[in-house]
Structure 1
Amino acid sequence: MDPDQELRGFEGVCRLFPLPEVVLFPHCVLPLHIFEPRYRQMTEDALAGDRLIAMVKLKDGADWNVEEDPPIESVACLGKIFDHRRLADGRYNLLLVGMKRVRLLHELPKDELFRRARAELLDDEYPDDPVDSLRDELVDQFRKLCAREGRVEPEIARLLDKPIPLGVLVDLLGHYLGLPGAVKQAFLNETHVEERVKSLIDILQVHLSNADDPRDGSDSGFPPPFSLN
């Protein structure tokens, strides 16, 4: 999907699907099981319209079991339903593909069960200088991680050699790795591609260095064990 083409009719208002520890990146796919009445309504509304839903992470410490509308992050990912199945009892299984980052400007009064917000689209920002060396370093560090883990999904291996924009590549790799929600949110917040790439390179380097250092017997929980699947 071409995000610019798909979002040509976007009018600046998005449906919100807040979840704890869930962060969607542009160009990535998120499977969703919809069962709560408010999100069934949200899905029905989306399917009858532009099929857009903004995935947004609950702020750390927010309790969605207690608060009706717990606080959410200010940057979300606007996704589009590209496949769905409605189950007999009214639940839905969805595949949502990320389109673009959005900054949530303010929430709107609730006319439905689900939340909505006015939002602005955010584009990737590239430096004036070429980014070839950054791409090479990112790919090199990621391949070292794959070699250490002893496996990598074939589609990810092929992705490393494709001439896709660097912003897309770093988002796909960030999605693929089992990073904590707070780290993923920091990546989502960052529109400067150079900074996103440098941050992911740093994480990969620290993780590889810790794994190779026999003196490091601590279990700090970060960098986390990566999930290459």
Structure 2
Amino acid sequence: MPGSYRRADDLPLVIPVFPLDGALLLPGGQLPLNIFEPRYLNMFDDAMSGERIIGMVQTRPGGDVERPNLAPVGCAGRVTSFAETSDGRYLVTLTGVCRFRVGDELPARGPYRQVRADFTAFEADLREGAPDSATAGDPSSLLDALRRYLDHRGLAIDWSSAEAAPSDALINSLAMALPFEPVEKQALLEAPTLAERRDTLVALLEIDAAAGDDEDPTMIQ
């Protein structure tokens, strides 16, 4: 279970990484994945026979198409749901465990990439239980910014659920689900504290709401 990790030293020193821009995993969050590329099918085969840990990481400019440069911080997740389809795809859910700094990449010995992961700076991600909602500050500014963002984009959510959700859960679920640009997703991931992630999220919502209406309305399910 993700909660079985108590210290940074409990996590593996080397982990496979799945570079996927725009896909944000945060500690405690759940990220569904549809795996079909052979190299990543192989990666999940190996993970399922080991510690089930995969590092989700975005890319940054440089490198080549097959091996783009990796962002400096990712989030390790544990496979908590796994199913194989009749056409050979894997439907997987990763549950976020802890963020990590991307260290040296190991020489390629297989079809997927592996890095040395340093979890030390993010050991607080492993603390048992959800963060105190007070650390996220007053939720009203977030809710106000969210309302303006949704109105601007023509989106709808269940407001009763949003208003009743614990602040940490609301902040992290919005950060993961909303269609921000990869660089914005990375800023949310790297925010040192929950309060700073909330502030970054509010800023992104307000910037978007103030921008011109250049996208088609969409619905959030």
TM-score when scaled to structure 1? 0.74
- Give the Cα–Cα distance (whole angstroms) in 2 for the partners of residues 28 and 227 of structure 1: 21
Deviation, structure 1 residue 78: 0.8
Number of the residue aligned with 1:17: 18
Q: CA deviation at 1:107?
A: 1.3
Which residue of structure 1 aligns with residue 131 of structure 2? none
8 Å CA contact 1:52–1:78 kept in 2: the answer is yes
Aligned-residue sequence identity (percent) comes to 31
Report deviation, 1:226.
Answer: 7.3
Asked if structure 2 preserves the Cα contact closer than 8 Å seen for 1:178 and 1:227, the reply is no
- Which has the higher mean CA deviation after the structures are superposed, 33-42 or 116-125? 116-125
Aligned to 1:37: 38
CA distance in 2, matches of 1:209, 1:183: 16
Residue 150 of structure 1: CA displacement? 6.1
1:84-123 aligned within 5 A: 84-88=82-86, 90-121=88-119, 122-123=122-123
* Alpha-carbon distance, 1:35 to partner: 2.3
Match of 1:5 in 2: 4
Task: Supply the AA of the counterpart residue of 2:220.
Answer: L
1:1-229 residue pairs with structure 2 within 5 A?
A: 3-6=2-5, 9-60=10-61, 63-64=64-65, 68-88=66-86, 90-121=88-119, 122-123=122-123, 131=135, 133-146=137-150, 149=154, 151-152=156-157, 154=158, 157-163=160-166, 166=168, 168-210=169-211, 219=214, 228-229=220-221
Secondary structure (helix, strand or coil) at the match of 1:93 reads strand
Partners of 1:218 and 1:37 in 2: CA distance:
40
Supply the RMSD in Å over aligned alpha carbons.
3.1
User: Which ranges of structure 2 fall in alignment gaps of 5 or more residues?
Assistant: 126-133
Aligned partners of 1:177 and 1:227 also within 8 Å: no
**Separation in 2, partners of 1:76, 1:22:** 11
- Equivalent position of 1:213 in the other structure: none
The whole-number CA distance in structure 2 between the counterparts of 1:17 and 1:116 is 9
Q: Which amino acid aligns with 2:143?
A: V
Q: Report the CA distance between 1:209 and its aligned residue.
A: 3.9
1:67-116 per-residue CA deviation (whole Å, 9 max, x = no partner) reads x4221111111111111112455432212222221111211223332211
CA distance in 2, matches of 1:199, 1:10: 28
Q: Which protein is bigger by CA-based radius of gyration? A: 1
Q: 1:63 to 1:110 in 2, by over 3 A?
A: closer
Q: 1:97 to 1:160 in 2, by over 3 A?
A: farther
The CA distance in 2 between the partners of 1:60 and 1:116, in whole Å, is 19
Structure 1: how far apart are the matches of 2:206 and 2:118? 34
| 1:71 match: secondary structure | strand
Q: CA deviation at 1:62?
A: 5.1
- CA distance, structure 1, for counterparts of residue 155 and residue 54 of structure 2: 36
Indicate conservation of the 8 Å contact 1:134/1:197, yes or no: no
Aligned length: 208
After TM superposition, the structure 1 stretch with the greater mean CA deviation from structure 2, 198-207 or 43-52, is 198-207
| Amino acid paired to 1:5 | S
Report the CA distance shift for 1:161/1:35 in structure 2 as closer, same or farther (over 3 A). same
Q: Under a length normalisation based on structure 2, what TM-score does the superposition of the two structures give?
A: 0.77
Tell me which moved more, 79-88 or 51-60. Answer: 79-88
